[in-house]
Amino acid sequence: MSANQATSTPAPPGNAPATPFSGRLFTGFLGILISAMVAGLSNRIGSLALADVRGVLGLGADEGSWLNTVYVAAELIAMPFSIWLATIISLRRFHMLMTGLFVLLSFIIPLVHDLSALLLLRSFQGVAGGMLIPILMLSALRFFPIPIRLYGMSLYALTATFSPNLGLWMASNWTDVWFDWRLLYWQNLPFGLLAMGMGWWGIPQDPTRPERLGQTDWFGMVCGAAALGMLAIGLDQGERLDWWHSDLLCWLIGGGISMMVVFLIRQWYYPAPFIKPQLLLQKRNLGVGFSVFVFLLMVMMSSSKLPGMHLEALWGYRSLQSAPIGLLIALPQPVLSLAVASLFYRKWVDARIVMASGIGLIAVACLLCTHITASWIVDQFVLAQMLQAAGQAMAVVGLLFLTTSVVQPMEGPFVAGTINTLRAFGVIFGGAMIGHFFRLRQHFHSEMLVDRIGRISANIPLSQDNLAALTDSARQQAFVLANADSYLMLAALAVLLIPFVLRMDYIAAPARQTSAPITNKG
């Protein structure tokens, strides 16, 4: 560390002079929003259409699974460092560079059929996508003045509620309607080019800050990247490698946790950090809110992962047939998110109650689905999905209001990087935990039902055909019961989150705020 670094603490990244809000600035923000949503869709669509891509490329399930793993790992690695790097070359140039790289890779990937090259290209695409998402929140905090900032945050919320649920419909159209798997990647081209044009015209040009290269914590960056990459790979491949029965997985998880401890300690004391973990302890809404967010993302998977698994396993549904499940949540989100944001400008509204109510609606939706049977198709999920749509908008926009309202301008860049890293980690962690829990419960119910079949066949002679039919029915029922248990577990988790939400600090309506947010303990 140089003497200059030790004696002075540089200002955090992203604090450019304020630019008056205008239509041009809003156009630039929309360009960043489109880039972030395209990056999120690429992650989701790559996972949903993985079987189709494997079939075209002739890849097995094990080797093909790495196409998704390297993307999510690279995306997670990039997020803590995005805003710092954006400051060095300016937000406008950074957005153009990362979006351009993402678009270029999207064009090249379908033309490559070598697995090693695909994994390399897909990981570079993950880095570019991970770099784009954090700058969206930073832009909302920077571009929108306080009286309308919450509307900007509600648009950011669409990356967690709208994009993931729209992905199923888009993936199904490319593979089952247009019958061209390359469109899974080439869909990014028109949206990416549009985002680049909007960003070039609307984002103000900040000065470059090359001196920040000398202040960069390179050792911390290496530790953070290694930690996040190891954890992401370990969690995403955990079910396939049978968790702790795999030496590789033990090294990945153990090493990732160890490196993460080093990274956080380094960030705590380094004068120019990428993130500031101490903010989570200093501000209750950040510490509690971000912790709740990780588990909320896991609960929100009850609207996509579990119904999709049920329809595919029991009815053999393709993505196109399951797409209405996602659209029921995705389509209302732009209206619902803006409506919830508008609600928070009412002086009589307590955002904690709104957020807790949203989580409660998600819990009710999960409880409704605990009555799932083998006969359920899309129609039986409609009510639960409608509750999920309203609940997710209330919970996510409420969380963003309660957390970002306690953030001072100098802290915005650190918070934007932290919440997006936790968001990406929460999706990977939630998917791994739900998948593991589901497999354990399915195995338990399968053993119980097979044991009962054995007792029946011992007392009542059964033909080979009847025994096979009974065994097949038991396997189906074990799947249904495991799904019901998963819904019950997520409902219980949602209920457990509510007291923590209610213990967050009260935030007054933005209309009351002048220079700083008003908070009351309670």
Q: pLDDT tens across 83-106, in order? A: 999 989 999 999 999 999 999 999
Cα distances from 118 to residues 63, 67, 129, in angstroms, run 11, 7, 16
pLDDT at 48: 79
Q: What is the mean pLDDT of residues 322-342?
A: 91
Q: Which pTM value belongs to this model?
A: 0.88
Q: Which residues pair with 506 in a beta bridge?
A: 520
Highest mean pLDDT among 1-5, 181-185, 353-357, 503-507: 353-357
* Domains of the chain in sequence order: 17-216 (1.20.1250.20), 217-271 (no CATH), 283-522 (1.20.1250.20)
| Residues 94, 85: Cα–Cα separation, whole Å | 8
| Residue-wise pLDDT tens digits, 257-297 | 999 999 999 999 888 888 888 888 888 899 999 999 999 99
Query: Residue 519: pLDDT above 50?
Result: no
Query: Residue 351: pLDDT above 50?
Result: yes
pLDDT at 1: 41
Higher-pLDDT residue of 6, 136: 136
Helix (H) or strand (E) holding 506: strand 506-507
284 near 290, Cβ under 8 Å? no
156 token code pair: 């950011």
Higher-pLDDT residue of 8, 146: 146
Q: Ramachandran region of residue 418, left (φ > 0), alpha (ψ -120 to 50) or beta?
A: alpha
pLDDT at 248: 87
Question: Which residues neighbour 510 within 8 Å (Cβ) at sequence distance 6 or greater?
Answer: 146, 147, 149, 150, 344, 345, 405
pLDDT at 286: 92
In degrees and rounded to multiples of 5, residue 47 shows phi and psi of -75, -45
Report CA 136 to chain centroid distance, whole Å.
14
Query: Residue 470: pLDDT above 80?
Result: no
Higher-pLDDT residue of 36, 215: 36
519 near 506, Cβ under 8 Å? yes
Q: What is the mean pLDDT of residues 33-58?
A: 85
| Residues 453, 446: Cα–Cα separation, whole Å | 10
pLDDT at 364: 96
| Residue-wise pLDDT tens digits, 430-469 | 989 999 999 999 999 888 887 777 676 666 665 666 666 7
353 near 177, Cβ under 8 Å? no
